[in-house]
Copies of this chain bind each other. A is one copy, B any other.
Amino acid sequence: MTTEKRRAPAGAAVLRGEITTAIRRALMQELAAVGYGRLSIEAVARRAGVSKTAIYRRWSSKVDLVLEIVAAAAHGKLPVLDTGTLRGDLALLFQAVAHALRHPLASQIIPDLLAEAARNPSIDATLRQVLHARQQEIGGRLVTRAVQRGELPADTDPDAAIDLIVGPLYWRLAIARLPLTDSYLDNLVESVAVGLGADTAVPRQRDSSVVS
């Protein structure tokens, strides 16, 4: 390999970032429009206003393209949350999830890819990495802190808690596609908190409320 002796690409021989950006945007739109199953490279190229070669020079195949872009888009989303109370954490988490799923692109792409993950190991692995792992981490932290505060029983199952936290919101936004109001979110916070095992009603702190 004489790669060391060749000079680095420069000038017109370097990838133009604007075109890469256009491909990314077109892919997301196309993914939302037709889904992963019907996704075609040619359609992405048409929508982006570039040639197929421009895509194949950057990614080797359809899965590569989708995985890289989706992973990048889903990375660094949810914030670190520590409001001091279980209900505060839940409210913040729900706001973040709701905001993410309000994007029409996300609300169409995510269910589609989750369904595709059931039959495509590569997609499954990537989604588990960027979505599930992240949710488990955040949910696990949320539960752990709540247990430490004494808001939840010590034997709370983190996985079950995540189901209870994420399930209802995901169902409403991504499946049933019903509107989401502030009062609904408030009620959901209370329902989930109580369902997890927290004391009912107004957050009367039992003792020291400041734990950080």
Binding site for B on A (CB under 8 A): 32-38, 107-108, 111-112, 114-116, 118-119, 132, 150, 153, 155, 157, 159-160, 162-164, 166-172, 175-178, 184, 187-188, 191-192, 194-197, 199-200, 206, 209-212
Closest to A111 in B: B115
Asked if B168 contacts A163 (CB within 8 A), the reply is yes
Residues of B within 8 A of A172 (CB): 163, 167
State which of B38, B107, B167, B200 has its C-beta within 8 Å of the C-beta of A171: B167
Residues of B within 8 A of A36 (CB): 35, 37
28 contacts between A and B (CB under 8 A): A32-B119, A35-B37, A35-B115, A36-B37, A37-B37, A108-B115, A111-B111, A112-B116, A115-B115, A155-B212, A159-B176, A160-B184, A160-B191, A163-B172, A163-B188, A164-B188, A164-B191, A164-B192, A167-B168, A167-B172, A171-B171, A191-B196, A194-B194, A194-B197, A197-B211, A199-B206, A200-B200, A200-B206
Closest to A171 in B: B167
Residues of B within 8 A of A178 (CB): 159
Q: Is the interface of A mostly helix, strand, loop or mixed?
A: helix
Closest to A131 in B: B175
Asked if A188 contacts B175 (CB within 8 A), the reply is no
Copies in the complex: 2
- Nearest chain B CB to A205's CB is how many angstroms away? 12
- Nearest chain B CB to A198's CB is how many angstroms away? 10
CA distance A184 to B195 in the complex (A): 14
Asked if A119 contacts B164 (CB within 8 A), the reply is no
Asked if A170 contacts B160 (CB within 8 A), the reply is no
Closest to A201 in B: B197
Closest to A120 in B: B35
Residues of B within 8 A of A194 (CB): 194-195, 197
Residues of B within 8 A of A169 (CB): 163, 167
CA distance A199 to B206 in the complex (A): 8
